[in-house]
Amino acid sequence: MPERGTGRSLVEAYVHLDLMVSGASDRATVTDTPEGWVLRVEDVEVLVPYEAEETAQQAGAVFGTGLSELLDPGQWVLIAGTYASRALEEGLFYAAGPEDPEQFDAIAADWSFAAEAVAEALKFLPEGATELPVEEFWSEMGREARDAEPGQFTREKLEGDLAFFRQSLDDFHRLHAH
């Protein structure tokens, strides 16, 4: 029987699958069930209840509302870094080349997803805490990220990254929007 988690949105489910199995989002099967959509790749399944996806869409919460049960804060920070790196790199090519509306949208989405991923990590930070508690890192990937760079998981660093990613998105729109 495959391992099954519960996602708060389809986007979160696809991100989780990609972390678990390389290239999973391109190969995932989606099945409608009475409870919601079940996304599956190899031995990994994610149930996204219909109500959770609807709530996420109504709230404008890309990755879902509430606290993630699929991804820990270490994974969210890694995801944010991936989206931000991609946005930075593609933004340089965009600025140097001819305007491409699809590329513009992809870069804007990457900056937005980077910010949203950091916001997800911040949800794990207790009120008044200066850093994410060790026990919040339940995945091997998340623990390894924290062990390698504990300074990445302080309130100051996460809030600074969130502000930078949001400002970068605003700047990209200001400089390149038609």
Same domain, 48 and 8: yes
Distance CA 94, CA 19 (A): 27
- In-domain check, residue 68: no
Three-state SS string across 74-114, please? HHHHHHHHHHHHHHHHHHHHHHHCCCCHHHHHHHHHHHHHH
Choose among 47, 63, 64, 46: nearest CA to 55: 64
- In-domain check, residue 65: no
Domain span at 100 = 73-176
Same domain, 131 and 107: yes
pLDDT for the residue 14: 96
pLDDT for the residue 1: 42
pLDDT for the residue 178: 61
Same domain, 149 and 81: yes
pTM score, whole prediction: 0.93
- In-domain check, residue 43: yes
Same domain, 85 and 54: no
Please tell me the total count of domains within the chain: 2
- In-domain check, residue 19: yes
pLDDT for the residue 2: 52
- In-domain check, residue 67: no
- In-domain check, residue 66: no
pLDDT for the residue 141: 96
The one-letter amino acid at 131: E
Same domain, 87 and 151: yes
Confirm if 71 and 138 have CB atoms less than 8 A apart: no
Which residues of the chain, if any, have pLDDT below 70? 1-3, 178
